[in-house]
Amino acid sequence: MTYENDSRERLIECAKKEFLEKGFAKASLRSISSAAGLTTGAVYFFFKDKNGLLGAIVDEPLANIYAVLKQHYSDEAEEDFSVYKHVEGDHDELADLLIPKLYADHDAIMILLDKSAGSKYENVVDDIISMTDSYYIRLAEHYAAAVPDKRVNEYMLHWFSHVQINAFVHLITHISDEQTALREIKPVMDMLVDCWMKYILIDK
C-alpha cells in the first residue's frame, strides 16, 4: 500500500535534468516524461502544467530565499550610520544565511536563477534585485542624512543591488561545493560593503 511508486519523484528528477540542460522554454514534457518511463499525461496527473512541474522543483527553495532576504533586510535597517564603521566580515551574516539555502538544492536554484526563462519565474532575479534596491534606497538615504554635503548616486546604487544579487547567482553557477562557495563569497561581500560605503555617496 505505501510502497512508494516514485513516479512523481522520477518526473521531478528528469525535469530537473531537462530544465538544467535546455532551460524551461526549450524543455519538452514529452522528453521529460518519457525519460521517466511515463507519458505526458502523467505529468498532468501530478502537476497542474509545465509551470506547475517547475514549481514543484523551485517553490520551496524560492520561499526559503525570500524568507532569509526579508529577514535580513529588516534586520539591517537598524544600522546607525553616524557611528558605523565597517569591519571585515561583519556582513557575512547574509552569506551565512543564504548560502545554505542556495546549496540545499543546488540544481533547483540553478534552474530558478538561470534557466527559468519562459516560465512564471522568469523575473525572479529581477524581483529580488528590486527588493534589494528598495532596501538600499532607504539605507542610502539614512546614510546621506548623516553625511553633510553628500548625496546618493542613484545609478550606482541600482547597479550595486544588481551586482550584489548577481554575485550570488554567479557563485551558484560557478561553484558547486557549498564550503568552497562560503569561502569564496566572503571577500566578495567584504568588498561590496566597503565599496558601498565609499562610492554610494557623491559630492552634492
d(CA 22, CA 30): 14
Q: How many CB atoms lie within 10 A of CB 120?
A: 13
* CA 83 to the chain's CA centroid: 31
Q: Give CA torsion, residues 136, 138, 140, 144, to 10 deg.
A: 180
Q: Pick from a copy of itself, DNA, none: which does 46 bind, CB < 5 to 8 A by kind?
A: DNA
In the complex, what is the shortest distance from the CB of residue 183 to DNA, in angstroms, rounded to a whole number? Answer: 38
Q: Pick from a copy of itself, DNA, none: which does 44 bind, CB < 5 to 8 A by kind?
A: DNA
Computed on alpha carbons and rounded to an integer, the radius of gyration of the chain in Å comes to 20
- Site size toward a copy of itself, by CB under 8 A: 26
Q: Pick from a copy of itself, DNA, none: which does 5 bind, CB < 5 to 8 A by kind?
A: DNA
Residues at the interface with a copy of itself (CB under 8 A): 23, 25-26, 117-118, 153, 155-156, 158-159, 162-163, 166-167, 170, 174-175, 184, 187-188, 191, 194-195, 198-199, 202
